[in-house]
Structure 1
């Protein structure tokens, strides 16, 4: 792999080169921004105005490194992210495949492409009071994400878009096995729907990345799923909110 290429991809996806500002995180203040803060962008604590990911440099580096491990360790399967925003993490996944000359793996890009759903506290009490659906800054349509892939010359038939709410689209998705899954659904419902649908298709030795471990509902969903399925693999910390584990050979 050309490490210089993927390092540059990370810098561009996070836009640490030109240092664009951050959106004001308030649903009523669309279009307002604050100056670029390099430390916030490093650890993904801001919502960039221009960058193609809000994951930050450390979580993007984690994606790059684990996709490379999938290749180096010959873990069978494709790659998927559930909750993609502007597509940056998936663009990076596709870029790592390209840097390695890999043509037999796909990147699945799963999102509503219309922001987050209102909470369903009757079925998912942990999401009671969640307001993320009010943030239209999170609603990036599929055409824009496709355009972002194309800007890197990485939009091709190895990229598959899966549009809709995870509970509707993922159970019937004809895909798998997966070598790496990355969950960025924020809410309990989104996280649980993703885990239930795609974790059983994660290959032994594959990687599960969770973007929102610092948020109570997401962390609860992860803990509930792992407990129910007897998953004891260590969760490795990426930064203040990201975490990952490797699926052991004995996992379900």
Structure 2
């Protein structure tokens, strides 16, 4: 199983998360590309630490939305969205290269991630961007999403993701952050849920119904309160079950 986290989300003097600590725990780093968060110095530092630790680097592409942290839907034209995604992957690739690593995969962020679960036009635009930039890149997303369906049809390497600290609807989508209970905080309960996901057992959806989530990678959000403790608890629980943690897309 892979354990991933969203990193390089600080910007200038505004600091968010503990990248160094998380990069000692996770096996894949979803590195912000400057559109929703991150600046060149923060991004380069995260890539350098990932390279040192053998953590795979992924491009966490987003809408151009620094004020909203990429969590607001933008009805951007597909061609423009494709160009935005290519731009972000290329920027991260440059910083990754000079730190001795490379971009291994692409994972959309925030509102874009949620939009392309069902928004076929925007999902196709992101798929087109990845294919045009480098069709050897893996992609990571929600099981059953349009994003993964179209990526697989385009011949890209597709990997499914589960979320350690987010509540699920009975349909397998994420409960919107604005709703009560959307974000989970208890490290032990989160670790237990991740252990069930890794074993292929059902977890509890927000309405109490059983839900099976198929995943190649589990995400612990780097900006959540107590993110480092949650990631450590999840890692230790998975290892305690004899599950080997390794990057789904290969090391940087």
Measured against the shorter chain, the TM-score band is 0.3 to 0.5
Larger RCO, structure (CA 8 Å, separation 6 or more) = 2
TM-score norm. by structure 1 comes to 0.35
TM-score norm. by structure 2 comes to 0.35
